[in-house]
Structure 1
């Protein structure tokens, strides 16, 4: 059956609503739709009648509910993992974000999608557990199918006695707790940096803050930097300016901020020398403090030591934030980093190295040699250098201990995922793991055992003519579709088990991205944004991101077209109009 002109108009209005939800304030649809109608004479655009109230209803009562039902259908009967976190938005409303991680049979990928955004006033373990349980029931699921629970270290979520997870264990004792590795590494760096000279933390905070809200200061620094680096070979040439701000809620910024300050050290000294001699009393006072720290050679030496170290931790942290996470490989990277810290501090017998033998890093040793060459005649240099080295040593020790304490409790579990790699599974030799060594042993049964025994003897040449996939997820997704001679799935139990194992979360990066989007949506000028609309926008956005596309790839489904009727207005409330937007830009036009 061919689509009618009315269906085409509905389809355009649905897809235009998604475009608005991703990139614009909803009020702007009043002007955009009129413009399209005006210049769409003789085309399907001529029939669209989309304004802000209708657009809001389409988003809340048509598109988002349809996507929710699709997710509910995809989750039916599936093993899954939960990722949970709570945050307070700009209107001081506390929200609990609940994400689900599962294998989607249609896309053949492990996906992370939004279950719900729930308002909470009492953030106790009991209340949060009840909210999560109610959301799962609304999707036809229970905690019995939850194999993993990802969260940060908040006691209400993961405490031993009175938390969400302690209550989950009462329902499902085999559920695996996975504390966010990204949070853990960020806290490890924070504790380690406290062992360094206080000037380091002060400069990392105050130098970017100095430039953050002043275009004049930025321009003055840029001009001075160009004058100082006219020759083209001086330090700082081609480096990024030290304007990037560090943030306690962003995991990957501290090391980059420190590197930018180091790269611009001479330019910063020259700039704050000028600041000290001009401007207001307050400006000169703060400039004098910053300049004094920049002129202290020991401060630069601390930066030379700490910057490469912190950047290495943040490099590992970034791996755990990737969209496609290989938990087993990334945990090996983390373990390898911990071993490198041990080698810098201890000998082969595990005894602490003398301070003179500790590995403080190449950059630090080079800068220290330069410093000693220029200050060999000064008194107390040796004692000052020894004191500085002791602080750097304490920083290394603290980072070593923090990483050790915060290594994933389930490191053996993640390492066990390597046994599900294609090479290991298809191997005939002793390297192939016994069934009892496979991860999540409570999911194993006799059917999985039999399929696991027979899979090495399968002839893969016909199934994978271009070669067996090296990626475990791609391999098991293909195995889940293999059929025998009578048309039955050949390895249904084993493949479903393996794919379930791969839904275990390793970080809260996805939920942090959701809260970042909430911050963008619910700004100071849009602080009346209602929760129903905000959840609808998040669900649409998450659906697009999960599938790696944007609004231009979105296509309205048949279900959405069927929901597109006058009944969608029955849930409409004037208080929800235009998402509660009061954008000043649009208010000037009204």
Structure 2
């Protein structure tokens, strides 16, 4: 009944204008209900139950009495109407834009290996758009198989391979290897395809590479401490008792997953909150009942006699404690960059500032020997040898981090991302010069598509209206505002350059979101769903930009007539 009450509120938005025919009203309501069902990840069994009982819940509605959207019909409309319709809309927009990038990755679901064909493109009216063109299963993960699938989907959609501006994926060799990778095969067919590395992976791997230079394996320690309590109620109870003894509020420890981008910092911060209690717990167990790695780390700086387990003994802070506090202080700088890269408002024009800020932070901390205020407090209690040893370890961490990031990002003043940054319209004064703008087509290998004389006229127009542009919007939306509100000039050449650059992703975060959504859809309770139904659900949830109430406007528009026609046809029951 609770679900019925919530659904009845949604139905208020689904009921059609009085002058619409009853048949159209019914099919619109059914499609809207199914759309609502997909958007919220509800089961088709629940919709089947609702369809049979909705006339009882809303007895005074003639439309509700005639709704017949059980699970068979609902899944058919999702699979062969909503999904294909959203795909057609994406294809239509891709044909209208000059360039789009392709992003792909692999994820295992049971014994299936799945791949998305995700696209990013710049719409001159809206800004950057990220959509799911296709989602497919492929048992093989070789570069040739991935390339063939990408090419087939592109050509089957009547799109040109020349429209692809960039290829984005994780930084595995199968994607970006020097000789036989997906990128190299795409490059052979289209020489202007840009290598769009995932900088979320770069920053995350930078941390992992730097941690390997330390004498202490912090990741392993954090994981082992979590595992100690994760599956034992008795051990958790003892930890709670240790928290009471140390006068600390108990907080459940967080799991660190090495393959995830942002899990180490929260795990360390939560561990630090309970650190005296955690130390008390392991010191109480004694050397023989602790993992050697944990015992060596936790017992460092404590006296050899733990029989009394004095509270003050557990609160002692030594050199090893400095590692946790140092990482708690330095990791937010990496996390800040990853969060920016994941943000939907972040563009390729912003990446240079973010990466240089991280680079400068690392260099500055190493030059000033700043490891955090808490480490400085502990340093006062350590002897000179211990301070020198820890300082040497931190310098190794910072040196390795700088080395890793410098090898994978161009920090030179004439780097490609530095030139992209000049396309930003946020500064009060336009930083983009004609010299840089006229050079970009050659750098991007699209000079044949650009008329330099016309480009200069367009650039002159941009300079004229630059001060009138809003500066408080994301960069892509400022460019969309400029193109939308200056129609006296065609701006074809500027649109090609800006469209190419803004179609380049900064990370593979969009693909990761698709897989996260996939895991929430393809659960154990919904394990009988077919691959094409899952694909259509993903396309519906990602490609439709309208809410459950706004879908009614789409259905009533001339653009929605095709969708309604598909939903009414019996062909929806047959796989297309």
TM-score category, normalised to shorter length: 0.7 to 0.9
**Does the 8 A contact of 1:11 with 1:561 survive in 2?**
yes
Report the Cα distance in structure 1 between the residues aligned to 2:364 and 2:465, rounded to whole angstroms: 46
Q: 2:407 aligns to what?
A: 405
**Does the 8 A contact of 2:191 with 2:445 survive in 1?**
no
Report the Cα distance in structure 2 between the residues aligned to 1:92 and 1:169, rounded to whole angstroms: 31
Partner of 1:480: helix, strand, or coil? helix
Report the Cα distance in structure 1 between the residues aligned to 2:356 and 2:478, rounded to whole angstroms: 26
Q: 1:523 aligns to what?
A: 523
Summarize the alignment of residues 353-372 of structure 1 with structure 2, pairs less than 5 Å apart.
358-369=369-380, 371-372=381-382
Q: 1:327 aligns to what?
A: 348
1:332-388 Cα deviation digits (max 9, x unpaired): 221122133234446xxxxxxxxxx7444433222222x32xxxxxxxx55444333
Q: Does the C-alpha gap of structure 1 residues 454 and 195 become closer, same or farther in structure 2, counting only changes over 3 Å?
A: closer
Summarize the alignment of residues 208-227 of structure 1 with structure 2, pairs less than 5 Å apart.
208-214=226-232, 217-218=235-236, 221-222=239-240, 224-225=242-243
In the alignment, which of 406, 414, 418 is matched to residue 417 of structure 2? 414
Q: Does the C-alpha gap of structure 1 residues 523 and 285 become closer, same or farther in structure 2, counting only changes over 3 Å?
A: farther
In the alignment, which of 82, 99, 109 is matched to residue 102 of structure 2? 82
Q: 2:6 aligns to what?
A: none
Q: What is the Cα deviation at residue 496 of structure 1?
A: 4.4
Report the Cα distance in structure 2 between the residues aligned to 1:535 and 1:430, rounded to whole angstroms: 42
Report the Cα distance in structure 1 between the residues aligned to 2:572 and 2:458, rounded to whole angstroms: 54
1:437-459 Cα deviation digits (max 9, x unpaired): 44636253235423334315645
**Does the 8 A contact of 1:482 with 1:489 survive in 2?**
no
Partner of 1:198: helix, strand, or coil? coil
The number of residue pairs the alignment matches comes to 528
Q: 1:317 aligns to what?
A: 338
Report the Cα distance in structure 2 between the residues aligned to 1:129 and 1:364, rounded to whole angstroms: 50
Report the Cα distance in structure 1 between the residues aligned to 2:470 and 2:395, rounded to whole angstroms: 50
Q: 1:533 aligns to what?
A: 533
Report the Cα distance in structure 2 between the residues aligned to 1:57 and 1:426, rounded to whole angstroms: 55
Partner of 1:76: helix, strand, or coil? helix
**Does the 8 A contact of 2:118 with 2:132 survive in 1?**
yes
**Does the 8 A contact of 1:265 with 1:294 survive in 2?**
no
Q: Does the C-alpha gap of structure 1 residues 334 and 498 become closer, same or farther in structure 2, counting only changes over 3 Å?
A: same
Q: Does the C-alpha gap of structure 1 residues 364 and 550 become closer, same or farther in structure 2, counting only changes over 3 Å?
A: farther
Summarize the alignment of residues 388-467 of structure 1 with structure 2, pairs less than 5 Å apart.
388-407=390-409, 412-422=415-425, 427=430, 433-438=435-440, 440=444, 442-443=446-447, 444-446=450-452, 448-456=454-462, 458=464
**Does the 8 A contact of 2:427 with 2:471 survive in 1?**
no
Q: 1:32 aligns to what?
A: 50
1:118-146 Cα deviation digits (max 9, x unpaired): 21122221221110011111222122011
**Does the 8 A contact of 2:80 with 2:573 survive in 1?**
no
Report the Cα distance in structure 2 between the residues aligned to 1:178 and 1:228, rounded to whole angstroms: 50
Summarize the alignment of residues 272-291 of structure 1 with structure 2, pairs less than 5 Å apart.
272-273=282-283, 276=285, 285-286=289-290, 290=294
Report the Cα distance in structure 1 between the residues aligned to 2:148 and 2:114, rounded to whole angstroms: 14
Report the Cα distance in structure 1 between the residues aligned to 2:226 and 2:148, rounded to whole angstroms: 43
Report the Cα distance in structure 2 between the residues aligned to 1:271 and 1:309, rounded to whole angstroms: 27
Mark the runs of 5 or more structure 1 residues left unpaired by the alignment.
230-235, 278-282, 347-356, 373-380, 574-590
Report the Cα distance in structure 1 between the residues aligned to 2:246 and 2:427, rounded to whole angstroms: 59
Report the Cα distance in structure 1 between the residues aligned to 2:510 and 2:238, rounded to whole angstroms: 39
Report the Cα distance in structure 2 between the residues aligned to 1:16 and 1:138, rounded to whole angstroms: 31
Report the Cα distance in structure 1 between the residues aligned to 2:446 and 2:256, rounded to whole angstroms: 44
Report the Cα distance in structure 2 between the residues aligned to 1:505 and 1:199, rounded to whole angstroms: 33
User: Is the counterpart of residue 191 in structure 1 residue 209 in structure 2?
Assistant: yes
User: Is the counterpart of residue 340 in structure 1 residue 361 in structure 2?
Assistant: yes
Mark the runs of 5 or more structure 2 residues left unpaired by the alignment.
1-16, 301-317
Q: 1:258 aligns to what?
A: 268
Q: What is the Cα deviation at residue 268 of structure 1?
A: 1.5
In the alignment, which of 285, 288, 299 is matched to residue 295 of structure 1? 299
Q: 2:65 aligns to what?
A: 46
**Does the 8 A contact of 2:43 with 2:526 survive in 1?**
no
Report the Cα distance in structure 2 between the residues aligned to 1:13 and 1:214, rounded to whole angstroms: 48
RMSD, matched Cα: 3.1
Report the Cα distance in structure 1 between the residues aligned to 2:223 and 2:564, rounded to whole angstroms: 52
Report the Cα distance in structure 1 between the residues aligned to 2:175 and 2:532, rounded to whole angstroms: 24
* TM-score (ref. length: structure 1): 0.81
Q: What is the Cα deviation at residue 200 of structure 1?
A: 2.2
Q: What is the Cα deviation at residue 13 of structure 1?
A: 1.6
